[in-house]
């Protein structure tokens, strides 16, 4: 399973990812994405995850293959 990776040095907490991927992410007290689980992306959520990655305004979200994560 692919995993989500947040580059915390780049993330601004805009909140788009948590909106597009409510199954995996929730906003924390300050608007930054917090994982609901271990950041693994089930195949069914893969398209939504790719969309979240593409739309992150800070380019802080990545989808990584198991071997490289």
Partner 1 sequence: MISVAEAPPGRQVQLRLLAGSNDGRLDSHLAQHGRLPVLETNQVMGMARDAGLTGRGGAGFPLWRKLSAVAAGGRAPVVIANGAEGEPASGKDRALLTYAPNLVLDGLQLVALGAQSVVLYAPAAGHRALRELLDARRAAGLDRVPVRLVTAPDAFVAGEESAAAAAVAGRGAVPADKLVRITESGPGGAPTLVQNVETLAHLAMIARYGAGWFRAAGTAEEPGTFLATVSGAVASPGVVEAGYGVALGDLIAAAGGASAPLSAVLVGGYHGGWVPAEGALPVSRAGLMPYGGSPGAGVIVALPRNACGLMETARIAGYLAGQVAGQCGPCVNGLPRLASTLTDLAQLRARPGLPAEVDRLARLVTGRGACRHPDGTARLIHSAMRAFEADVAAHLTGRCLATDARG
Examine residue 7 and tell whether it contacts partner 1 (CB under 8 A).
yes
Q: Which stretch binds partner 1 (CB under 8 A): 15-23, 25-33, 43-51?
A: 25-33
Examine residue 1 and tell whether it contacts partner 1 (CB under 8 A).
no
Question: String of b and e for 4-33 (b: at least 16 CB within 10 Å)?
Answer: bebeeeebeebebbbebbeebbeeeeeebb
Find the helix or strand (DSSP H, E) in which 5 lies: strand 3-6
Pick 44 or 67: Cβ nearer partner 1: 67
Q: How far is the CB of 64 from partner 1 (least distance, A)?
A: 7
Examine residue 12 and tell whether it contacts partner 1 (CB under 8 A).
yes
């Amino acid at each position: 399973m692919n995993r989500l990776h947040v580059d915390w040095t780049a993330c601004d907490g805009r909140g788009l990812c948590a909106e597009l991927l409510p199954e995996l992410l929730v906003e924390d007290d300050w608007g930054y994405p917090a994982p609901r689980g271990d950041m693994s992306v089930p195949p069914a959520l893969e398209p939504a995850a790719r969309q979240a990655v593409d739309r992150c305004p800070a380019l802080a979200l990545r989808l990584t293959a198991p071997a490289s994560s």
